Structure 1
Amino acid sequence: MRSHFLNYTAVGLFVSAMVIALIVVVLMLSGRSGPTDRYSIVFDNVSDMKYGTVVRYEGYTIGEVNKIEPERSDNRYHFRVFVDVKKGWQIPADSVARIAASSFLAAKTIEIAGGRAPEVIQPGGEIPGGSPADIFTLMSSVAAEIGDLSNSSLKPMLAKISDTIDRIGMATEGNLNQLFGSLNSIAKSVQDKTPQIANDIARLTAQLNTEMGQIDKILSDGNVATIQRSLGHVEDASANAAAATKDLKTLSQKARALADQLNNLVQGNTRNVDRSVADLAYILRTLSQNIDAITHNLEGSTRNMNEFSRLIRQNPGLLLSGGSPSPDRGLTPVPDQSKDQ
């Protein structure tokens, strides 16, 4: 009896240990082996997402999905996924979470691509969600878009093309005879006018040869040299015109500066100019009042100067000896002493 009791006790302890080990392994595999922080992620599609889906950061398991809640905004549904992450795990603010699968047969997981921002998302915050990185999801999306394109665009377009081809065929079949008749008449007209066309082409060729000869004469070496010299003169004239334009511009700038200086001078001496004009008006008014006396005095002074010059001519010694002048005897010529000698 005692050996049976020991055997049962050993088996029970072994089974209990295995159950405890199984629970520990399950807890470790589920990522809920300790305290966690909760975050939320918003996705447009949560295919194959459920409670317990693994959450990984750069491939390292850090938590699992706790629950999924639908939200409606902008006339469509979005899904907020709440995840439990190891407590104290720092997630940069520019990280992006995507639904992915590591292989074709692997289960869906939430992969968080870590960012470089110094700021971190606080517990309870929202991790930015990105488009799915799963190839099957992308292929399904592309296939759906191709199906929509086929139903909405390709089929109507093919129907329109088929209808257009049928119309073109009917119209072409009805107009082929008329077209061939027109072509036959055109060909006959061309055949009838071919000799005349050939003669016209021959005359045109002769005229072209004559014109080319004239052009060769015009473009002789001498004429080409003359044209080159003319072009050189034109270039020199253009350079001179440019220099003259530059000089005119400089002269215009100087004239503008001079005008500015004169303007400043006039504005700065307005009072002096007014006074000068007033003085000039006073002088002119005084001259106009005394012009008769001035003219009379000038006439007497002129007569005295004439008398003085006449006396000096008759007797230059008066400038040295002085004395009263002799009576005026008229214009008696002075004898030439050189002849007496």
Structure 2
Amino acid sequence: MNAPARDTAAAPGRLAELRPLLSELMDLKRLRTPDHPDGLAAHGFRRAWAALASGVDPGAVALQETARAVAAVKLGGLDADVLVRAGLSPGDVARVLHRGLDAVAGPLEPDLRERLSLALTQTPDAPHAPPPAFVERLVHQPRAGATFPGRARLLVPPQEGHADHCYAVAVGAVLVSSRFGAAPSLPFLAGLSHHLFNAVLPDAGYGGEALLGDLLEPLMKRHTEAALASLPVRLSKVVRQALMLTGNVDSPEARAFNAADALDRALELEAHARAAGFTLRQAMEDLELIHPGPLRAFGDDVLREATVWP
């Protein structure tokens, strides 16, 4: 029998209920808008670090960013700023955002769903501090792909950046936290910060890092410390505490973070596999590419006449 510290869930089987939502969160890495050409995940990463550097409570940032990410699964770039700019009233903006959240929040525990719903429309003071300098480095530092010593690298385009991965892990850690009986704040921070050293060190993956041998850990520690030293003292202290969750599963919070990290790495590649295997039949039948409405019959006739789709 496994020791309690190795239990994968407080309630076995519950992670499977979250898988569809966690899978769809991968899309935020590749959804781009004119306002956010690096993608919605990179934008969330910047926004989270700017809020933290400005002194916003990490627990509030964790809930706000997770709520925004979950709503964006269906709404994409239609966030509060865009909807206000487009001319919607504050009440209409709130209704749209809550529809986005509610569309995918069914698998979440009622308490977490309620907290995310409240956080979604809270309007914290706009951060005055810019994101720390390492944030832009992580936005533009690509992930290595899947590597293993002695085997060829598996690299699938478009490459995700470290900000993409860290943001997805941070949000995922909040979503799985209740499965482990964990408070979400520290797992969220661990997700945001567990690759600080890659702001300086390009990612060589497991295969490349193995060649560094005993040089790897001191390098990682040195550059993590340099990034932490650039943060306000209070924030640096809590990020250090969060980073203690990495490399072990000795607490509910550590299990929540490490579960989200493992899930993101696998689901990222699953997203690429799903895209590579996509067929026109899925577009026409599963996604109803010619949408229901007054023009559907005409569209179907056009595709049939052009022998595109029977």
Larger radius of gyration: 1
Q: Shorter-normalised TM-score: what interval?
A: under 0.3
Structure ranking higher on relative contact order (CA contacts 8 Å, 6+ apart): 2
- More strand as a share of residues: 1
TM-score norm. by structure 2 comes to 0.14
